[in-house]
Structure 1
């Protein structure tokens, strides 16, 4: 993510590490003989489970990502975004935002210089307020990266628009290397149950439990490409990256050990976490330079590797920012690992170095959702209260100033006084929230 020229401090760069992505923001349990797979019924549902609410935004808005009009360049406290219909899901990209309405329609706003909004913004100012994306299909889930947006239809088809990026800049969304400013359908061999998006890569989980990835693979986040081919596909060409392909485990093909089924998937900024079909194990691949995947050693992983440190619990969410991870267990506990600088782990000022294993934030209880931005973290509890911590420079935390916050701190503001927070999504320099009235009626 390109930092604003007016910022007193830029968000973390990867230029001091092995990875320099230009950003706006163990073993399988399979038998030697593969057993017949039972086809699972497709049950595509919006990620926020149809709870209706209003959209609130805060942070930096110099590319229109707040959706509050061209005169609003930043907000310390949440501001109300005007959208015609009731909203059930929101997602923050690097410098753009998308929202899903109860009608299954997608609205977008923010930076559109690489097609991430999926609509025409040639008229001055139209990118700074919500505008409808014409899809011709009812949408159930959304995902957003730095310069791309992805949408899943209710019948399991995937649409995408914008472009992917790597160290050398944009390389398009499709094998012809072109930016796609309007939605295009992504061909997949089976109906998709879930989508997840990183800074510049996408993961799709099918109804059969198969995992497909596409996009940038430089840090290993696709989990299926040898390091020597991760830069623009090498001699195999761009299609190796941008055409969705199956993620396999380490093992000889045909042995029954290489093909594993998964129950869930979560894309971090530059890595991916996949939960096994029995929900007992977590596998990860991608960037691990600050131990943010909980694996031994700080090298990138190019194939799925069992994360022993995440065993023993069932995880409902695993969210990863640029260099850190926040995980939510099914019993409402929050664990963090990775880089501690600027307070993004929430463990206090004494913990400003990397944390190599999942460490619980004991002050957070009854949590029902977590989120990360590049260098910030969020948690929402069952009472509708939102907590934030991490880098304060971009005003993403919803607090009174731009200081870094080292422990989870309750977010506040006029728009939150009479509302419960449903979910939070962190972008490169901004934050978007879905909130509903405390009496469960959506505000006008």
Structure 2
């Protein structure tokens, strides 16, 4: 009969084989874009640093305009502070916009090259992308995360890593396989297949969920969804979103949050100035979620001071600050209640 040492060796060998097999499996998650649903890239707003992807001559669009992304089939698009990241059905990435701190992940030394989409080189096949103010990230089908650009805090640049700004994609050293990534303005959050969260970036207002307040600021707002206005420096359950609502998606703006329930209802809370909550001119602040009067929706998004909802019928409703024409309404007026986005490019789409 095999001894105790032989049994341990056999178990260790089995575990190693299982780990190798596990690593070869492609990761899946409900948040990943459907690679079989290809689309066009449409942009609107201001493009003073090329973030519209329409070339050197076009600085603004008040209605959605088509971007030529090298004839590729696009499955996902995310907007950073002043740059845009596109993911193709082949897992390739194209970027355009401001590259002052490496957010595009590619060489833009040729004049004007940042104003049009171009490919980013990295190892692997991308299945999800995210973008913050000055950084971008991609998740590969193997569960690896690559990022580039820079993080900042109230005192200035802090670097993407200890080496400073990373102008080209680098692999984020993680022991676990990642299934989802999400970017804030200056931090990155990674969810592992085991349900663990990994964070990096600015920790000033508790964004990382693991750095004590006394260590979070190099130099020396309001919490929303709770009844008080204290920052949180570790995760805390939000009763107003958990007790009587089944949430399937959450999107955070600068000072507000948009939530989507499994029933297709859209709720907002936080600061209400510029109409970003969608409840009219008189709504200044909501400490708990309130449901908007919208058709059944299947997706939501939030920018700094804007909100968007995508209905099951394929229409986009926008509300919030319109100063930069980012609502696609045709002018610069704020929209304090949801309004359907129109224009030639959306007429039959």
Residues 31, 180 of structure 2: 8 Å contact kept: no
Residues 46, 89 of structure 1: 8 Å contact kept: no
Task: Tell me by how many angstroms 1:410 deviates.
Answer: 0.2
Could you tell me which residue of structure 2 aligns to residue 432 of structure 1?
A: none
Task: Tell me by how many angstroms 1:418 deviates.
Answer: 1.6
Could you tell me which residue of structure 1 aligns to residue 194 of structure 2?
A: 208
Normalising by the residue count of structure 1, what TM-score does the alignment of the two structures yield? 0.71
Listed one character per residue, the Cα deviations across residues 45-81 of structure 1 (whole Å, up to 9, x for unaligned) are 7633222100000001000000000111110001100
Distance 2:139 2:195 in 1: 16
Listed one character per residue, the Cα deviations across residues 374-432 of structure 1 (whole Å, up to 9, x for unaligned) are 1010000111100000111010111121111111000001000121xxxxxxxxxxxxx
Distance 1:45 1:192 in 2: 13
Listed one character per residue, the Cα deviations across residues 161-184 of structure 1 (whole Å, up to 9, x for unaligned) are 0010001111111123x1000000
The SS at the match of 2:318 is strand
Distance 1:97 1:231 in 2: 29
Task: List runs of 5+ in structure 1 lacking aligned partners.
Answer: 1-38, 235-286, 420-444
Correspondences of 1:161-240 after superposition (within 5 Å): 161-176=148-163, 178-232=164-218
The SS at the match of 2:109 is coil
Could you tell me which residue of structure 2 aligns to residue 414 of structure 1?
A: 344
Residues 44, 154 of structure 1: 8 Å contact kept: no
Normalising by the residue count of structure 2, what TM-score does the alignment of the two structures yield? 0.90
Task: List runs of 5+ in structure 2 lacking aligned partners.
Answer: 1-18
Distance 1:75 1:49 in 2: 28
Distance 1:233 1:226 in 2: 15
Distance 1:154 1:200 in 2: 24
Could you tell me which residue of structure 2 aligns to residue 318 of structure 1?
A: 250
Task: Tell me by how many angstroms 1:139 deviates.
Answer: 0.3
Listed one character per residue, the Cα deviations across residues 335-386 of structure 1 (whole Å, up to 9, x for unaligned) are 00000111000001221x111110000x212100000111010000111100
Of 98, 122, 127 in structure 2, the residue corresponding to residue 135 of structure 1 is 122
Higher helix share: 2
Listed one character per residue, the Cα deviations across residues 32-57 of structure 1 (whole Å, up to 9, x for unaligned) are xxxxxxx9984257633222100000
Q: Structure 1 residues 131 and 45, CA, compared in 2 at 3 Å: closer, same or farther?
A: farther
Residues 1:358 and 2:289 aligned together: yes
Could you tell me which residue of structure 1 aligns to residue 238 of structure 2?
A: 307
Residues 82, 98 of structure 2: 8 Å contact kept: yes
Could you tell me which residue of structure 1 aligns to residue 94 of structure 2?
A: 107
The SS at the match of 1:305 is coil
Residues 47, 89 of structure 1: 8 Å contact kept: no
Correspondences of 1:26-425 after superposition (within 5 Å): 42-44=27-29, 47-50=32-35, 51-84=37-70, 85-176=72-163, 178-232=164-218, 287=221, 289=222, 291-292=223-224, 294-311=225-242, 312-351=244-283, 353-361=284-292, 363-419=293-349
Residues 91, 144 of structure 1: 8 Å contact kept: yes
The SS at the match of 1:304 is coil
Q: CA RMSD in A?
A: 1.6
Listed one character per residue, the Cα deviations across residues 303-348 of structure 1 (whole Å, up to 9, x for unaligned) are 1111011112221111111111110001100000000111000001
The one of the two structures with greater contact order (alpha-carbon pairs below 8 A, sep at least 6) is 1
The SS at the match of 1:310 is helix
The SS at the match of 1:76 is strand
Task: Tell me by how many angstroms 1:114 deviates.
Answer: 0.2
Distance 1:349 1:398 in 2: 20
Distance 2:28 2:306 in 1: 32
Q: Structure 1 residues 331 and 46, CA, compared in 2 at 3 Å: closer, same or farther?
A: closer
